[in-house]
Structure 1
Amino acid sequence: MEKLELQNLSLKSRGYYQLTVEELVQQTLLRKEGVLNDTGALVINTGEFTGRSPADKFIVKDEITRETVDWNKFNHPLDESYFLILKDEMLAYLVQQSDIWIRDAYACADPAVRLKLRVINENPWGNHFAANMFIDPAETELKNFKPEWLIIQAPGFKANPAHHGTRQSNFTVVSFEHKTILIGGTGYTGEIKKGVFTVLNFILPQHNILSMHCSANEGKKGDTALFFGLSGTGKTTLSSDPERKLIGDDEHGWDEKGIFNCEGGCYAKIINLSAEYEPDIFGAIREGALVENTMFINGTNKIDFKCKAITENTRVSYPLNYIKNSKIPSTAVTPKNLFFLTCDAYGVFPPISKLTYEQAMYYFINGYTAKVAGTEEGVKEPQVTFSACFGAPFLPLHPGAYAHLLKEKLENHQTNVWMINTGWTGGAYGTGKRISIAYTRAMISAALNGQLNEVAYQPHPVFGIQMPQSCPNVPSEILDPAKTWADRKAYDKTALALAQKFKENFSLYQNEYLEYAL
């Protein structure tokens, strides 16, 4: 196993450099930090944190960011002096470790804009995640590889809030001046990929490139589709289509040439995963995949996909090529269709509707879904969730900047925009039922194939979006949600109440959005 002296990072310790996934798995097993499941995937526990901690993400406030970053509940400022202390002490901490793991990689599949990354991890499984999620340089490229951004992840390094300026012991800190991401006190690997995505969301729009929290796929005729949606709306599931090539499942850029994946792998939720409904993701859980925070069925090493004992946010990372019909290099032409996915637990949105570009901006800025709280607390009412641009925690700029870029690209390329409700019909959660995934796939296929271009539409009486009156392989009676409710007055009341929540949320962004549009 090759080792590399990291003199330029002031590290006197020696680190394992650019190991294969197989070597990283073996080291994890030897250190008793993970086990294998029955299909050969590595299963780890990330410890106290099994998800991102948005309240503990900081951006260094300096000349680069002071007037450009939208300082809000997700973008917390940190003085540069604290960053410098954190970085020095994290490097000193890593010097004391017997081993560290280093990986050079790319973010962004488009060579014209890709970032050169150097990832340093305290654990081999952290480096395994980086190997799965980023793009490996060729051997010839590694010889003269000069990283532009440094990512240091040390779960064992705990911050002292009084000394380091953090909120608590865990943190993610991004410095655009020093081109460095520091992650400490948490083993949750998703902080690595979302740290890089935050960086791209700051850099790419400066070059008129729209950075997007979405999945993407390509049809047999070369047409591209984008799928935006918050967690639980089906973004990963619906973009994994055996009839279309997967470009990527989470993060993309859109420039004048087309779109490109920002990653080299997928990071999918696997709670309640089944081979029947998500065969591609199910099949990707094999040797080389990294599974987080799951439990085994008693007496076996088979993953219990229904178990929430550790977290509902169970995850698997795997290289993009684990999806048999993936597209590599993961670039494609300008999208012909764009889908906003919402899991509407109120049951008022149509299962499919077509949006004007003005409506698209409204729903993009709002980024809506409705979640159902866990019944163990006895809470059964839907909970409205708004996340600007379907990715508010990762947006350093004001959402209006991304919305303006999106509208510009939609208009320039005449992209169709659709809203898909993957949630409830016939009533809200507890009364209605979940829309069949088979019907959802049929509606998306009809939109992609142009079968909805000639059908009749009618406007939704509250939201104004256009509802098709027919769709191949879908019962016409479910296309108008009001007709699926037993009580029309109850439907109207619920729809109006939800529309009011939209207006209240949009008012938080309206003035700045209009400024960007001018």
Structure 2
Amino acid sequence: MSIELKVEQLRAGATHYNLSVSELTKMSIERKEGTFASSGALQVNTGKYTGRSPKDKYIVNEASVTDHIDWGAVNQPMSEQQFERLYQKAQDYMATKELFIFDGFAGADLAYRLPIRVINEYAWHNLFARQLFIRPSEIELMAHKPEFTVIALPGLKADPLVDGTRSETFICLSLEKKIVLIGGTEYAGEMKKSIFSVMNYILPGQDVLPMHCSANVSEEGKVALFFGLSGTGKTTLSADPNRRLIGDDEHGWSETGVFNFEGGCYAKCAGLTEEKEPQIWQAIRFGTVLENVVLDPTSGVAEYGNTQITENTRAAYPLEYIPGVKIPGTAGHPDVIMFLTADASGVLPPISKLTKEQAMYHFLSGYTSKLAGTERGVTEPEATFSTCFGAPFLPLRPNVYAQMLGRQIEEHKANVYLINTGWVGGSYGEGERMNLVYTRAMVTAALNGSLEKTTFTEAPFFGLLCPDSVPGVPSELLLPRNTWQDQSQYDVKAKELAQRFIHNFNKFAGVDERIIAAGPKV
């Protein structure tokens, strides 16, 4: 029996379909799920889980998918029997709960969009889904038939001894039954990223490259992509007042160009100021969901500098809240591609131009530092390699995505840059985070072509070409070794990081020797 039929059978009045923003906000307040910030946004807390739980994520090992999935620590298998047991628990649990249902889409390109349904026990979770996914028109809603269903039940907890899970939390994806089942966590980002995983499985079979990146476009139609993991600056750097935002996190690249998967943005709020990030600041108003942001108890003013709950404070708002946003979220082929990394060791250049081979090397490597709060248990930056800058969300083998990107770069002659938004002048704890003003200036120089007019110097150990000058950026910052008081210590740290790259890359079998040669040297 389908999940839709079971939901229809619940008692009258217990299920709410496609409520408006005002209705969902009102019910969230009435149910004491959240409170109003002074800006009108809905402030909520997600309990003990303030980030994703990657170790509690599973893909059901079904006959139709088992040979295609890149099984391992990221894509952990769950038996069909385990899933059926949890699914039955979810059915029994929902029969006793008031439910909220949102019907919408993932994918702005009509040729590739995925009809989805999201079922929640929390009103604010359903508001989150409404703001983050693509909202249908009234005509589209009448004909809507979900192909994938997300069921998010924070109050439903697994019993590891009975259910075979690692903990009380579970995020289970059945690609055959087309169901995502989430329990034991209130963190809303699990819903968003589960559908991203679905798109990452489906689209390569349609010759579309799914990408963990933000995207924007100039008035002249010049498209830029920003790849990177959470906390590296995808949302911040793509929110450019001089360009139109396509989307801040998830996109596809088809034969006709790029398109957004989502209808909203999920922006980090730690340290947010109106001066540095005016578009995000102004988007935080009625209809926006603020996750784990501390409010002044008297005024209700958001204290973005207060990270006592978590570093991973978030704002979820619809794309329409960004001035000049591109709707629908579609555009042509990219002219510039940027790989963003937050290097906590402080040794990578703030910007460098990549050859095609270097681009493939760094895409497969996906180096960054996990920043505090983005995952459970991460309290300070940790060096990590996340293949294709999105390994937690990629069900297929890395080469599938890497080869597709390589073909697209070559065919459309895109310029590729590596941008370090991390530390300068020393490692984490000694140096400081790169000034956002300087990073924006470097991004602007890459976008407007002025970098092509300067000379370059090769950075030691990594073979990266660093510009000798960038308008608005102190030249001594462009070669990171120059910013360290003890340059011999820089050499030690640089060699350590280079060795990490080499060790990590050994896991990729059958890679072209030219790509391997484009990596760091010790």
Q: Structure 1's 513 and 317: CA in aligned 2 closer, same or farther, altered over 3 A? A: farther
Q: Structure 1's 6 and 404: CA in aligned 2 closer, same or farther, altered over 3 A? A: closer
Q: Structure 1's 372 and 251: CA in aligned 2 closer, same or farther, altered over 3 A? A: closer
Separation (CA, whole Å) in 1 of partners of 2:471 and 2:274: 26
Partner letter of residue 218 of structure 2?
G
Gap runs ≥5 in structure 1: none
Partner letter of residue 390 of structure 2?
G
Q: After TM superposition, give the deviation of residue 381 of structure 1 in Å.
A: 9.4
Separation (CA, whole Å) in 1 of partners of 2:332 and 2:219: 13
Deviations 1:163-188 (A, max 9, x none): 32322221111011101101111111
Q: Structure 1's 298 and 35: CA in aligned 2 closer, same or farther, altered over 3 A? A: closer
Partner letter of residue 266 of structure 2?
Y
Q: After TM superposition, give the deviation of residue 249 of structure 1 in Å.
A: 0.6
3-state SS of 1:452 partner: helix
Pair 1:258-2:257 in alignment: yes
Q: Which residue of 1 aligns with 2:67?
A: 67
Q: Which residue of 2 aligns with 1:19?
A: 19
Gap runs ≥5 in structure 2: 516-522
Q: Which residue of 1 aligns with 2:77?
A: 77
Separation (CA, whole Å) in 2 of partners of 1:47 and 1:344: 29
42-51 or 486-495, which deviates more: 486-495
Q: Structure 1's 109 and 372: CA in aligned 2 closer, same or farther, altered over 3 A? A: closer
Pair 1:137-2:145 in alignment: no
Deviations 1:384-442 (A, max 9, x none): 22211111111111222111111111111111000111222233334433322222111
Q: Structure 1's 373 and 395: CA in aligned 2 closer, same or farther, altered over 3 A? A: closer
Q: Which residue of 1 aligns with 2:56?
A: 56
Q: How does 1:54-203 map to 2 (within 5 A)?
A: 54-97=54-97, 99-203=98-202
3-state SS of 2:451 partner: coil
Judge conservation of contact 1:353–1:466 (CA < 8 Å) in 2.
Answer: yes
Judge conservation of contact 1:399–1:513 (CA < 8 Å) in 2.
Answer: no
Separation (CA, whole Å) in 2 of partners of 1:478 and 1:426: 9
Separation (CA, whole Å) in 2 of partners of 1:486 and 1:169: 48
Separation (CA, whole Å) in 2 of partners of 1:76 and 1:382: 25
3-state SS of 1:222 partner: coil
Q: Structure 1's 487 and 221: CA in aligned 2 closer, same or farther, altered over 3 A? A: same
3-state SS of 2:303 partner: coil
Partner letter of residue 487 of structure 2?
R
Judge conservation of contact 2:21–2:127 (CA < 8 Å) in 1.
Answer: yes
Judge conservation of contact 1:6–1:12 (CA < 8 Å) in 2.
Answer: no
Separation (CA, whole Å) in 2 of partners of 1:364 and 1:330: 24
Separation (CA, whole Å) in 2 of partners of 1:6 and 1:150: 9
Compute the TM-score of the two structures, normalised by the length of structure 2: 0.93
3-state SS of 1:73 partner: coil
Separation (CA, whole Å) in 2 of partners of 1:442 and 1:324: 21
Pair 1:456-2:449 in alignment: no
3-state SS of 1:363 partner: helix
Q: How does 1:50-449 map to 2 (within 5 A)?
A: 50-97=50-97, 99-370=98-369, 383-449=382-448
Partner letter of residue 224 of structure 1?
V
Judge conservation of contact 2:312–2:372 (CA < 8 Å) in 1.
Answer: no
Q: Structure 1's 179 and 381: CA in aligned 2 closer, same or farther, altered over 3 A? A: closer
Compute the TM-score of the two structures, normalised by the length of structure 1: 0.93
Partner letter of residue 124 of structure 2?
W
Deviations 1:276-320 (A, max 9, x none): 111111111100001111221242211111222222111110001
Separation (CA, whole Å) in 2 of partners of 1:413 and 1:210: 14
Q: Structure 1's 512 and 115: CA in aligned 2 closer, same or farther, altered over 3 A? A: farther
357-366 or 196-205, which deviates more: 357-366
Partner letter of residue 37 of structure 1?
A
Q: How does 1:484-495 map to 2 (within 5 A)?
A: 484-495=483-494
Separation (CA, whole Å) in 1 of partners of 2:117 and 2:372: 39
